[in-house]
Amino acid sequence: MTAEKEEKAEEMPEEKKEGPEKEDVKEEAAEEISEEEEEKLRLPFPTAAVVRVMKANLDKEKMIRKDVKIAMNKWLGQICGRVSKEMNKFPYVVMHMNEFKEGKRIFDDIESFDKEKKRILAHMDAIKKDIERLERDLGKVEEEIVNFERKKEE
């Protein structure tokens, strides 16, 4: 870049400068999913709603690629289908909150299973430390006995 271009770039207001941040925004805008494309893909949910939830749980500076938005939308549709199939096992015509809770139980169980796994692993670590401490204590006692017997022999 020449000196004249650098001076002009410095004089430009911040929003007119073309930096890597502006390019990323343009790139993300270019990756937006149009309504026509959404219909072609037959996505189960409006993409904007899915992206809004994702962005609410991501850091502000993170961007989401188009393929991720589509994959998340499809996956959420699959999850909704699985829960609905579980709810369909009930003989009732009207689904109430109890049927929904039963339908989503498998996903709740996975979360509680993961918590239980972490709790068990922490308990096992505590047991290992207790064993190591006992081994050290017993090792010291055995060494003292061996040393005492050696002294007697001498």
What CATH number is attached to the domain comprising 23?
Answer: 1.10.20.10
Q: Total structural domains in the chain? A: 1
For residue 34, what are its two tokens? 């149009």
Q: What is the mean pLDDT of the chain?
A: 78
Q: Is residue 142 part of a domain?
A: no
Closest alpha carbon to 43 in 82, 5, 73, 4: 73
Q: Is residue 153 part of a domain?
A: no
Q: Is residue 152 part of a domain?
A: no
Q: Is residue 34 part of a domain?
A: yes
Q: Is residue 86 part of a domain?
A: yes
Q: Which long-range contacts (CB under 8 A, 24 or more apart) does 95-104 make?
A: none
Expressed as residue numbers, the domain containing 103 is 3-125
Q: Is residue 150 part of a domain?
A: no
pLDDT above 60: residue 101: yes
Please give the single-letter amino acid code of residue 48: A
Q: Is residue 134 part of a domain?
A: no
Closest alpha carbon to 79 in 87, 67, 89, 90: 87
Q: Is residue 131 part of a domain?
A: no
Residues 12-66: pLDDT tens digits?
A: 444 444 444 444 444 444 467 776 776 677 888 888 899 999 999 999 999 999 8
pTM of the model: 0.52
